[in-house]
A and B are shown apart, each in its own frame.
Chain A
Amino acid sequence: MEKEELKNTIFAFVEKAKGKKKLKEKDIIKGVSADAGVEKDEVKKALREMIDVGRLMYSYGGGASSVEIPSEEYLREKGMIK
């Protein structure tokens, strides 16, 4: 799978869980790897690239961390949108 396509798959996976389930990094890696038949390490790498540029973000609530789609407020704060 092309990297960009993989990233879109990851994004869709996170989007589907939005508001239903808090996903840890490992949930995404396992889930996408199983759904798309891509090596876990490859998913991990793509996921982290997405986090590094703010396409996804680490979030924190109730003591535990998760990966989520960034809010507009976050992106604005990081200077990624106006």
Chain B
Amino acid sequence: MPTIKIDGREIPFESGDTIIRAAHRAGIDIPHYCWHPGLSVAANCRMCLVEVLPPPGRPAMSLDILRWDAAKQDYVPAAKPKLQPACQMACASGMEVLSDNSDHVSEARSAVQELLLLNHPVDCPICDQAGECRLQDYWLEHQRKGKRMRQEPVHKPKAVTFGPTIVYDAERCIVCTRCIRVCNELARDPVLSVRERGNLGEITVSPGRELDHNYTLMTEHVCPVGALTSRDFRFKARVWFLRSARTVCQGCATGCNAYLDYDPRNNTPYRHRPRENMAVNTYWMCDEGMLSYRHAVEGRLLTALVGNDDASLDDALAAAKEQLAGHGDDPSKVAIVLSAQHSNEDNFALYHLATTYLGATDFFVSGKPLGEGDDILISEDKNPNTRGAVQIAAATPPRPVAELLQGIASGHYAYVVALGSDLEVDAGEAQRAFSRLKGVVTIAAHEGPLAKAARVALPACSWAEAEGTYVNGKGLAQRSERALLPHGDARPAWELIGRLGRALGYETGWKTLAELRRAMPPGAALGGAAGAAAPAAALGAAPAVADGARVEPKKTEATA
């Protein structure tokens, strides 16, 4: 593989790489604002200027300048090398680049910083970029001095509402055009543009339009300064109090990798951020997915319900035992509903209980009904684990819930043990059907038609409160970390299923998550480091796209 040398260090590059991309891959950070690994190159911020040494035997490209001579107290003619933007300069074999080792480059970075901050208001205290700001970071790394301009800076509009999700502050904008490129290239909806030039430049929305496509929050996420802020997150939390858990988005079957940022002091999630995974979502997430962090705490089932009345967990388990009394007489009368909303662990626990102890043979999968999708990231299947649930019960292929209702109508079933709360069928119809049964027990994290239809509902943890493995639409199994502590009486669903089994008099073989995972078929649960993705080929699915190494968190563009 050809190599280039950056500050004396040899790094390999692939054909067509730019210097900054090769350096980024090798873990060398060349400061930049406008460059983003997932977007086209604009080369307008000039922060990534580097010195490229001339080829052997060739003169350096240099610029004639005047430099202040302190001894002579006058400007004297001098020359300096022509610096190149690393984001645009293609690598060539044997190229030698000076980034941190060149005085010319440090001087240029300091000057670029000074230029960018000329008209930038020092309203850091009220700016909600709060500690995630490149201007602050690079000021400390590369500038460390005040600006020389003493005139009043140019003032531009503040707090302009761009759309339902985004607020724009033109004064803070450094016109890096990342947001414009996100709209053009990711969302393919060119709704943003620059108007005016030089220090009057600002971002503007197309006349008659709002910034309202499905990826508006990405424009905020890629903004390196505090110009774009999300109406959902601004003024809500300070980032230095937040901790991040590596989770998998639950919005649809794409299974985008995300960071769930939460405040451990009040056990509250505050936002979802995309986590880089080249095999799944590259650097992006959709608005719906980024806002779906709220479901970790909203609409939750927080106490056990017995006949729609609150009950303690022990009482509910006793009631469940009563409900399911007599299920052993005819195991074929027991229908098991797995959930496409729950993790592999939860589904396997129920499947294991059903096949090993209850003797059930009929399996169904519940989940949210199909929705709108696009060809970018959003999948029509709004369930994160449809594929996982189907694969868990591959021996006895699960059927849709509509068939369960038919079976109930024809009197096939007397008992239902269900996971999850969502139904893709009409809720009223399901409720009427379930009311004819002898026993309905649900383990659900959220309130929903299935939880309402059940006589006994046990409160399960949401994805943010329990570890779990999810298989996305492509067949890639991904692990999601626990972020929050369980709210209310919620416990992980697999644990509740184990307790339900023991309440029914069975000695289920697992009491901890590790024991459960050992009992699972290989590939259904991931070993090793949390967050690492492994191929789900063992599940008999199509070959998985495995790119586990990329999931490891690092300070990348996506976390900026």
A and B associate: no
Residues of B within 8 A of A (CB): none
Residues of A within 8 A of B (CB): none
